[in-house]
A and B are shown apart, each in its own frame.
Chain A
């Protein structure tokens, strides 16, 4: 199964872009990359997912490298409410399992 590696913590100034990296060097061709975030005492919340191409929605952008071994989640204008733990997940192509990485604790600073 493809594993993910993320930095333990990051800080970002309010109003600036937050760039959260994820390494998934063993990802296989049919596995999607998902990003979720979790605010304390709540369930994880879906942000975005992608396969090969870069993706953008109302919350964030996802940049996947051409070799698909890493990706970056971009929050274009971070707010204090974006303070959370962000998880990068790779979905196995042999089943339905979702395995969480260690996550990055993002703190947005006023």
Chain B
């Protein structure tokens, strides 16, 4: 089945140690998103790609970066994780256009020691 896959499901890193989360898709969608979801909160959009065009949200900290080397893969890099970055990180994909609906992966839960 076509889907959005996030690996790993659980990631532990140390305070200040760079970490990369990965997302892959078999849907061939041209839009890919990264969301941060903290406990008991709604997902918060960090940024998205339309093809290779990167679109950052105004309030996304500089500590968060992203790479999309090809259509299928997208990475979230946290350069110096702080305790406040512990959260679930969700990847989603969509076609462009108003009627496109995003498909979500099951997320990576990041813990900071």
Contacts and interface: CB of A to CB of B under 8 A. Distances in A.
B2 interface: no
B78 to A, nearest CB: 19
A87 B50 contact: no
B99 A44 contact: no
B90 interface: yes
A6 B44 CA distance: 16
A45 interface: yes
Given A30-B98, A97-B48, A43 B105 contact: yes
A59 to B, nearest CB: 13
Contacts of A34: 101
Interface residues of A, number: 25
A43 B94 CA distance: 14
A93 interface: yes
Interface in B69-113: 90, 92, 94, 96, 98-99, 101-107, 109
**Interface residues of B: mostly helix, strand, loop or mixed?**
strand
Interface string B45-67: 10010100001010000000000
Contacts of A36: 104
A32 B99 contact: yes
Given A93-B98, A96-B48, A96-B96, A46 B103 contact: yes
A102 interface: yes
A42 B3 CA distance: 14
Nearest to A50: B99
Nearest to B106: A43
Interface of B: 4, 31, 33, 35, 42-45, 48, 50, 55, 57, 90, 92, 94, 96, 98-99, 101-107, 109
